Amino acid sequence: MKFFEDSNALESLRHSDFDALSAYGEVIDNSIQANAKKIAIQMQCLPRRHNREQIETLAFGDDGDGMDETTVHSCLKLGWSSRFNDRSGIGRFGVGMVLGAIHEVRKVEVYSKQRGSSWLYTYIDLDEIENDELDEIPPPKKVELPDNLKGLTGTDSGTVVVWSNYDKQVDSGDIILRNAEHWIGRTFRYYIWDGLEITLNGTVVCAHDPLRVRTEKTKYPNDTKAEKFDPILLKWRVPQDSAHAQLREQSEVVINTSLLPEDLRPNQGAGSSNEIKQRHIEQGISILRNKREVFFGTIPYWSSVEGASWNWEEIDRWWGCEILFDAELDSEFSVKNIKRGALPQRDLKIAIKRLITPTRESALEEVRRVWAEAAAAKKQNAAKENAAKGRGPHSVAEDIAGKTATPKSKFDAKKTQKDAAAEISEQILTNQTEDERAKTLALFNAQPFTITESTWGGSTFWEIYHAGGSSLITYNKRHEFFQKIDELMDALANEDPNPVGIAEELKTLIDLLLISSAKAQSLNDSDAKVNHVGDFLEQHNNQWGMMLTNYLRQWGREKNE
C-alpha cells in the first residue's frame, strides 16, 4: 500500500497549522469516535537537561472498539478514513491524526484489538522512508501488546498510538503536560461531563468550563457557579454543499452566555490575582463543533463588525460565551480539516455579535457596579482609618514621600519640634480643634510631609512651613485651582461620567499649574540677588497663585464662549 506520495511530500506536510495540543486532540477524537469510555495518555521524558525535559515517547490508549485488519492497515494513510465526510461525529476528513502526528514526531506506531481478536500492529517511520528502507505501510501483524502499554487500554478491545523520535518539540515536556491538562479539559469538557475519563500520566483530567456555569468534574467543584443567561438561538441556513442540505434548510446555533460569580471579581484588578490565573479565567469566546471545542479566544476582526463596534477589553474576562453548532455548518464557521480554529463567515459573525452585545453590556454594567461599590467602601474605610489617626485624604502621597529616599531638608532644619509645634499651632492651625491640632502635629513630627486643608482669602493656593526636616503643606480650598479639582472629582462620581473628557481637563489643569509657576519665575530679574530665601519663596508662591488664578479664569471664559 503506497504512501500519499514520497518522503519529500511527507516532510513538507509536516509544516501544517498544527501545534502540539491540537495534534493530541486528533488522537483523542479518534478514540471518542471509537466509543471509548477511557482514554489514557502517557508521556515519558528523558532526564531533565538544560532546564528542559525532552519527550522520549508519547502514548495514547483507549478502551474503544478497536480496528480490524483493513482499518489498521489504512489508518496511517493520508486521506483515508472509515468515516470520511461523516459530520455526525467529531471527525470528518481522515487526515487529522496522521498530519498531527508527523507534525510532532518522526515515528508513529499503532496497536489495535477488536473484541475476540488479537492485537494488530503497524507503523510509519519517516527516517526509514527517507532512507528508502520503507516504501509502504507495513501490513498489520499479530503481536503481544508491550507490558508498558497494557495499562493504557482495555483488556477486550482498544487502540494504542505511540509517538517517538519527537524532533519538533517546542516547549519542555513538563510545560506541555501542564498546558495539555487544561486544554484537553476545556476542549472535551462536554464529553467528560457525559462520562468520558481522560488521564494524563495517571492523573484524571478535569473538565474546564470557561462559562463557570458547571462545576462538576472540574478542579474546583465547590466554586460558586456563574449566573447563566437564557440561551440565544440563531437559525442559520445550511450550505448547499452540506450533506444535510437536502434534509433541512436551517441549522440551529446555540449561544450560551454567563456572568461569572461576584466572589471572583470583587474589585477592579482581581484578574491579576494568582487565584484567577490558576483557574484560567480569560476573555474570549469558546466555539464548539458537535460539542468539541475548535476555537477559544478573541475572534479576529471583531472590532470591525457592523452595528456593534466594541472590542475585547480586560473586563471581558468576567462574562463567558460559548457557541455550539453542528458540523453541517462547517463552511459557515470556516472549520479547518485539522479542527484547529474557527472563524465565522462575515454575515454569521455580524449576527452573532449583534445578538450577544446586549448581554455583554448588561454583564459589564453589573461588574462595574460591584467594582464601584467596592471602591467606595474601600475609600470610606480608608477615610475612617485615616480619621482615627488624624490623617486626611492625602495620606497616599504622604506615604510615598515618606518612603522615598531624598536629601535631608535644610530649611530651618535646626528648629526644634517644640518650637515648630508652637509656631504651627499659633500661625497655621488656628481653625482646627485642639484634638485635630494634636493629631496634625503628631503627623508633622512623624513624617517628612504632612498635607492639611484650610480656606483663606488672597491669591496663594498653598502655604508651606518647613522646620526640623519636616514640611507642613496647607491647601487653600477657596482657590479656584482646588475648586476645579473638586468639580472634576464630582464629575467622575456621576452616573454616566465622561472619563476621557475629565482626563483632558485634568491634563489642562496640570499644564496651567506648571505654566503659572514658570510665569512666576519669569517675573524675577535674573541678575537680582536674594537676601532671604524665605521672603523669596513667599513672593514666588504669591505670584504663582495669582498667575494660576488668571489662567484659570481665562480658561473658564473660553469654555463659556
Report d(CA 180, CA 20) in Å as an integer.
Answer: 9
pLDDT tens, residue order, the chain (561 aa): 554 455 566 666 777 667 899 999 999 999 999 999 999 999 999 999 999 999 999 999 999 999 999 999 999 987 666 554 455 555 543 457 888 899 999 999 999 999 999 999 999 999 999 898 998 999 999 999 999 999 999 989 999 999 999 999 999 999 999 999 999 999 999 999 999 999 999 999 999 999 999 999 999 999 999 999 999 999 999 987 766 556 778 999 999 999 999 999 999 889 989 999 999 999 999 999 999 999 999 988 888 777 667 889 899 999 999 999 999 999 999 887 655 678 899 999 999 999 999 999 999 999 999 998 998 888 788 777 777 766 778 888 999 999 999 998 888 888 887 888 888 888 888 888 888 888 888 888 889 999 998 888 888 999 999 988 899 999 999 999 999 998 998 888 776 788 899 999 999 999 999 999 999 999 998 888 888 888 889 899 999 999 999 999 999 999 887
> For residue 99, which of 30, 45, 40 has the smallest C-alpha distance?
30
Q: What is the largest CA-CA distance in the chain?
A: 109
pLDDT at position 92: 43
DSSP 8-state assignment for residue 17: S
> Quick one: DSSP state of residue 264?
G
CB atoms within 10 A of CB 142: 11
Q: CA-CA distance, 28 to 533, in Å (whole number)?
A: 80
Per-residue burial over 365-396, b if 16 or more Cβ lie within 10 Å, else e, is ebbeeebeebeeeeeeeeeeebeeebbbebbe
Q: Give me 526's grid cell.
A: 535674573
Are 159 and 153 within 8 A, CB to CB? yes
Q: What is the pLDDT, as a whole number, of residue 8?
A: 61
- pLDDT computed for residue 540 by the predictor: 92
> Where does 308-377 show beta strands of DSSP type E?
319-325
Rounded to an integer, what distance in angstroms lies between the CA atom of residue 428 and that of residue 40?
77
The answer to whether 222 and 242 are in contact (CB under 8 A) is: no
Counting Cβ atoms within 10 Å, is residue 238 exposed (0-12), middle (13-18) or buried (19+)? buried
Q: pTM of this prediction?
A: 0.73
Q: What are 160's strand-pairing partners?
A: 61, 111
Place of cell 454594567: 365
* HSE toward the beta carbon, residue 308, CA cutoff 13 A: 18
Q: How far apart are CA 62 and CA 38, in angstroms?
A: 6
CA distance 478 to 486: 11
CB burial string 455-465: b at 16+ within 10 A, e below? eeeebbbbbeb
Q: Which domains does the chain have, with CATH numbers?
A: 7-204 (3.30.565.10), 227-382 (3.30.230), 390-560 (no CATH)
Distances (CA, A) of 355 to 307, 313, 321, 349, 525: 11, 19, 12, 10, 68
Residue 460, CA distances (Å) to 135, 232, 237, 510 in order? 93, 62, 73, 17
Question: Mind giving me the DSSP string for 433-494?
Answer: -HHHHHHHHHHHHHSSEEEEEE--SSS-SEEEEEETTEEEEEEETTSHHHHHHHHHHHHHTS
From the list 463, 419, 464, 421, the residue with the least C-alpha distance to 439 is: 421
pLDDT value of residue 93:
39
Question: Can you give the pLDDT at residue 324?
Answer: 97
Contact predicate 210/190, CB 8 Å: no
- pLDDT value at position 531? 84
- 9: cell is 511530500
Give the up-direction half-sphere exposure of residue 257: CA atoms within 13 A in the CB hemisphere.
Answer: 23
pLDDT value at residue 243: 61
Cα–Cα distance between 317 and 510 in angstroms, integer?
A: 34
What's the sign of the alpha-carbon dihedral 525, 531, 536, 537?
positive
Return all residues near 364 (Cβ < 8 A) that are at least 6 apart: 315, 316, 318, 319
By DSSP bridging, strand 285-289 and strand 319-325 are parallel
pLDDT at 85: 47
Q: How far apart are CA 491 and CA 481, in angstroms?
A: 16
Describe the strand order of the beta sheet including 197-200 as a list of residue ranges. 141-143, 119-125, 107-113, 158-164, 55-62, 38-45, 197-200, 203-204
